[in-house]
Structure 1
């Protein structure tokens, strides 16, 4: 794959080279397209939730979630995805997505352990939704996705902010430390935003303090789009869903990758470690009108901690 045709920017290339995965990344990169194929269009139409990442007016990155009945996501054509939803007023991305914005999105099917990313430029549709002009479209492998099924909550109200601050409260730290899934938004040197999924056994996302989080970087598709973005821009936004209540914890900050052997030594399966310095937290109740069944953990999940000898 030549530089002219590669989907990767220099930060991604640098990480791929450091990890010794350039050839594998070139192979994986062939799956990155700029159009939505028919099978992907059908997949989107069946989804109930879309995770979306973008920057707010202050340049801080956030990841949040939009939801609706099946059909609220549609591929209007091979280059356009419509979303019949926008962030509620309580959401830190409400103002940003009220106008044009670079966005990264990921549609997840926990029940089928499938996921698909669509990155591009979002504009309001004038009817309370969004239109995304796609420039990157690709599917990911099923690794680390916990199997769950959605359950509607007819009593759910509009999303509302129940807490906000510069760091995690004790209760929020507990939610984070027991999470088995989160999503992370990052941005590349050209302003393109990406949203990615991270999964593992409870405890894989570690709380080091009210303003510090750490997680292992497990083997994946070798594209290193998240780490490649962090190589050139440390801004990151995390979404930690509360699958039991429909709530969500949104965290923004700056992240760095620790490539040292000691950092990954106590984390089975970790090839390296990412550490986030938290600068802002927003907790939403009724972030979606859904709850989810108890998880069936992915067989790919490594143990969250190394067992004692």
Structure 2
């Protein structure tokens, strides 16, 4: 937090620098942080059951922990003095060690030794938070007094490491925070039995790489707590999101003494979602990149403590690491501790925050189109150049699935040829100019819009034109076949095609590797088995015409030959119209298909069923049931096969489990 009277209007240089960097206006009303601990803030702290605390160790490195477990463990005890009483892990909690390093064990019935830091107190910060109401209050100041009393852990684990900490914190600054990104939980007090599972500094030759238990904890975490300092005060805050919002960038083994082996150690990253735009934590990190992070496991009371240095990635740098993200905090970890059952509370998940955006995965895990990743450009930068897609036609296939046709043209005054896609690739389009309404602190009517960049990726469902046609951009047509879901498809569904202003969408780029492109004829000695769920058929739509031509060329025949292909397609009964449309456009595909129809009944959509029967006749193409493992393995027909799976996560997981490790499989998801 800023020191209120240190700088004009209460902002410190790091916060002002972040405002300039992110082109955010600095409020003329000044920093809203309050001096001291008001009665209102004190009450909010006293009814919260948890608080994160941060301080610096002897080397000046920040660390963070979480204490509490019941309401009232922290409460005002005098003017601007917060009293805190909590069970702590004396042996492994870095904050307890740094604050209470002079507190030894009491002798018999004697009172525990009192710690009174020199120079008026030891710098610390806190964040009280209530996981039932999503309330939180930030605190900054000093520990002026503390003690640590031995508590036994009922004979479990390392009982000598559990103690009861009591501290008096002089609160110099306080600020109430908004409830965004706090996932509701039901907290209960817990008697811990701490045990150190792993530490990066347990010996001079310890490898600085996270063990499997730590990676699992990070993957399931929906919350972290961080502490930072600008040299004058500290700040402790919360970052939350969906489980998995923290990503591991690197976990290459590297020893603390020798980094010549080329490993890069532990590097994690998380996205900075839309907040109050004060940038108090990021302002500290801008002037001092050191950070302390605590990642709790509310189910088990396990905890991962980290300290390291940050790099703030903005704009193109952020998008290159984590697509769809404008601001990323990247942390190079210097020391870490993983403690089993180290926290004095547990909590049961109740309700995720409605403001949580989807998980932002790293570019290396599969993100935006390849052209965007290659250039490191952000989607907004792509608006300044490249191609524009103009919506010219909308065809209703089913009530929930439409086909949209766009014409491609060079943007601006440029008449450069438009880049073409390859069959099976996807296109990334930026709808931000149409749907982004700008920043607001809260938006309860549409919480997901706060962190939505409105950049979407769709598989291109038509074959590209001959390369020569790209010289005339107006003749280049691109089609996408999509299910209605969310604000972007809602716009495509409802836009008036005859409106005076056409719907023109910047093209960010085309993507999709060679791995999901089907080979046929002489170029492959394996049969292709394509497994699709619903609109997962779209990668095949643009490839099928070429597959039939390749099969004919390989046979030396002038007539169309069936490629070495089997299609297993699971489709809802309400979407049978998509199968009708597909088989009409690609008549040679029906004999190669097994269609598994789920939901509804045989009479539910008589029109589509009759049309389907007219196309495929009496062939045993349609099965009114779910796909089974025997269908999948039977599609191989005793030959070598390569499986292509494009479906939702649940279906993909089932198919992969059926196939096991002995088959060649490539997958494509709907989460680009």
What TM-score do the two structures reach when normalised by structure 2?
0.43
1:125 to 143, 146, 155: 146
Q: Which residue of 1 aligns with 2:90?
A: 89
Cα distance between partner residues in 2 of 1:95 and 1:213 = 25
Cα distance between partner residues in 2 of 1:58 and 1:283 = 20
Aligned positions of 1:139-178 closer than 5 A: 139-153=176-190, 156-165=191-200, 166-178=208-220
Q: Which residue of 2 aligns with 1:20?
A: 23
Pick the structure with greater CA Rg: 2
Q: Which residue of 1 aligns with 2:61?
A: 60
CA contact (8 A) 1:48 1:72 kept: yes
Q: Which residue of 2 aligns with 1:299?
A: 354
Go from structure 1 to structure 2 and tell me whether the alpha carbon gap of 1:241 and 1:6 turns closer, same or farther (over 3 Å shift).
Answer: same
User: Are residues 1:213 and 2:268 paired?
Assistant: yes
Cα distance between partner residues in 1 of 2:351 and 2:235 = 27
User: Are residues 1:197 and 2:238 paired?
Assistant: yes
Structure number with the bigger relative contact order (C-alpha 8 A, sep ≥ 6) is 1
CA contact (8 A) 2:182 2:352 kept: yes
CA contact (8 A) 1:167 1:281 kept: no
CA contact (8 A) 1:268 1:304 kept: no
5+ residue gaps in structure 1?
none
Q: CA deviation at 1:170?
A: 2.3
Cα distance between partner residues in 1 of 2:336 and 2:303 = 11
Q: Secondary structure at the match of 1:69?
A: coil
Go from structure 1 to structure 2 and tell me whether the alpha carbon gap of 1:180 and 1:27 turns closer, same or farther (over 3 Å shift).
Answer: farther
CA contact (8 A) 1:183 1:240 kept: yes
Q: CA deviation at 1:38?
A: 2.1
User: Are residues 1:106 and 2:127 paired?
Assistant: yes
Q: Which residue of 1 aligns with 2:572?
A: none
Q: Which residue of 2 aligns with 1:235?
A: 290
Q: Secondary structure at the match of 1:125?
A: strand
Q: Secondary structure at the match of 2:343?
A: coil
Q: CA deviation at 1:15?
A: 0.4
What TM-score do the two structures reach when normalised by structure 1?
0.90
Cα distance between partner residues in 2 of 1:21 and 1:225 = 13
The one-character-per-residue Cα deviations of 1:124-169 (angstroms, maximum 9, x if unpaired) are: 334641111111100111111101111334xx33444332114422
Cα distance between partner residues in 2 of 1:3 and 1:60 = 23
Q: Secondary structure at the match of 1:94?
A: helix
Q: CA deviation at 1:212?
A: 0.4
CA contact (8 A) 2:312 2:329 kept: yes
Cα distance between partner residues in 2 of 1:273 and 1:287 = 29
Cα distance between partner residues in 2 of 1:172 and 1:101 = 31
Q: CA deviation at 1:3?
A: 7.9
Which structure has more helix as a fraction of its residues?
2
Q: CA deviation at 1:262?
A: 4.8
User: Are residues 1:263 and 2:284 paired?
Assistant: no
Cα distance between partner residues in 2 of 1:200 and 1:178 = 11
Q: Secondary structure at the match of 2:86?
A: coil
Cα distance between partner residues in 2 of 1:95 and 1:203 = 30
Q: CA deviation at 1:47?
A: 2.1
Q: CA deviation at 1:2?
A: 10
Go from structure 1 to structure 2 and tell me whether the alpha carbon gap of 1:144 and 1:67 turns closer, same or farther (over 3 Å shift).
Answer: same
Go from structure 1 to structure 2 and tell me whether the alpha carbon gap of 1:292 and 1:11 turns closer, same or farther (over 3 Å shift).
Answer: same
Aligned positions of 1:269-284 closer than 5 A: 270-284=325-339
Greater Cα offset, 134-143 or 89-98:
89-98
Which structure has more strand as a fraction of its residues?
1
The aligned length equals: 304
Cα distance between partner residues in 1 of 2:239 and 2:276 = 12
Cα distance between partner residues in 1 of 2:346 and 2:38 = 30
Cα distance between partner residues in 2 of 1:158 and 1:118 = 29
Cα distance between partner residues in 1 of 2:69 and 2:145 = 17
Go from structure 1 to structure 2 and tell me whether the alpha carbon gap of 1:260 and 1:239 turns closer, same or farther (over 3 Å shift).
Answer: same
Q: CA deviation at 1:4?
A: 4.7
CA contact (8 A) 1:268 1:303 kept: no
5+ residue gaps in structure 2?
101-116, 149-164, 201-207, 252-265, 361-366, 368-455, 459-672
Go from structure 1 to structure 2 and tell me whether the alpha carbon gap of 1:221 and 1:269 turns closer, same or farther (over 3 Å shift).
Answer: farther
User: Are residues 1:287 and 2:289 paired?
Assistant: no
Go from structure 1 to structure 2 and tell me whether the alpha carbon gap of 1:35 and 1:170 turns closer, same or farther (over 3 Å shift).
Answer: same
